[in-house]
Homo-oligomer: A and B are copies of this chain.
C-alpha cells in the first residue's frame, strides 16, 4: 500500500468526508476540490477522474485493513486468533467510521468502476478471517446444529466480519456511550455460542 501525503492525502480525506455524508454519487469533483482546498487542476493532476479517486480511496482503506488484520492475528490460533481479529476490526471501524460506512455500502455493489479492485481487496480481508476459522476447526459445531458444508469458510468469515461491522457501527452511531471492551465482549459472546445449546 502506498501511503499518500500532502495534496493527495488532503484530497483523499476530503473525498471520504464528503462521501460519508452524501454518498459517492452525491459527491462531485468540484466539491472535493473545494473541501480539500486545492485547485481543480491540482485535483485532476492527482486523480484523473472521480472513479479513479474513489477507487484509490477504497483500495487504500480496504488494503490497509487486510494488512492490519494480518498483523493483529500474528501467530495466534484458534479462538485467540478470532478474538484478536474481532478486536482489530472493531478498532479499525472506530478509528474510521466514515470509511466503514462507505465500505458497508460499497462492498456488494456490482455496478462500480472499481468493482474488481474492491472485490480483490475484500476477498483478502475476508481471507484472514477464513484462514483463522478453518484452523480453529469449524467442524466442532454445537450438538444439534447442522454441520457446515465444506468450503463454507468464506461464508463463515463474511458472517463474522458482518457481525463486527454492523455491531461496531451500531455502537458508534447509536450507543456511543458504551466502552470498546463492552462492545467487543458482546460481539465475542454472540460468536461464542452464548445462546447456543451446549
Within 8 A of B (CB), among A1-53: 21-26
Measured between beta carbons, the chain B residues less than 8 angstroms from A189 are 138, 141, 145-148, 152, 156
Q: What mask results when residues 173 to 198 of chain A are scored 1 for a CB within 8 Å of chain B, else 0?
A: 11100100111111111111111111
Within 8 A of B (CB), among A137-186: 137-142, 144-149, 152, 154-156, 158-167, 169-171, 173-175, 178, 181-186
By secondary structure, the A interface counts as helix
Size of interface on A: residues with Cβ below 8 Å to B: 72
A194 near B22: Cβ-Cβ < 8 Å? no
* Cα–Cα distance between A164 and B162 once the two chains are bound (Å): 7
- Residue A82 interfacial (CB < 8 Å): yes
- Residue A57 interfacial (CB < 8 Å): no
B22 near A111: Cβ-Cβ < 8 Å? yes
Measured between beta carbons, the chain B residues less than 8 angstroms from A104 are 104-105, 108
How many monomers of this protein are in the complex?
A: 2
* Cα–Cα distance between A104 and B197 once the two chains are bound (Å): 30
Residue of B nearest to A142 (CB): B192
Measured between beta carbons, the chain B residues less than 8 angstroms from A154 are 170, 174-175
Partner of A159, one of B23, B106, B167, B173: B167
Given contacts A79-B197, A108-B169, contact A155 B138 (CB under 8 A): no
Q: What's the least CB distance linking A55 to chain B, in Å? A: 16
Q: What's the least CB distance linking A44 to chain B, in Å? A: 22
Residues of A with Cβ closer than 8 Å to B?
Answer: 21-26, 78-79, 82-83, 101, 104-106, 108-111, 132-133, 136-142, 144-149, 152, 154-156, 158-167, 169-171, 173-175, 178, 181-198
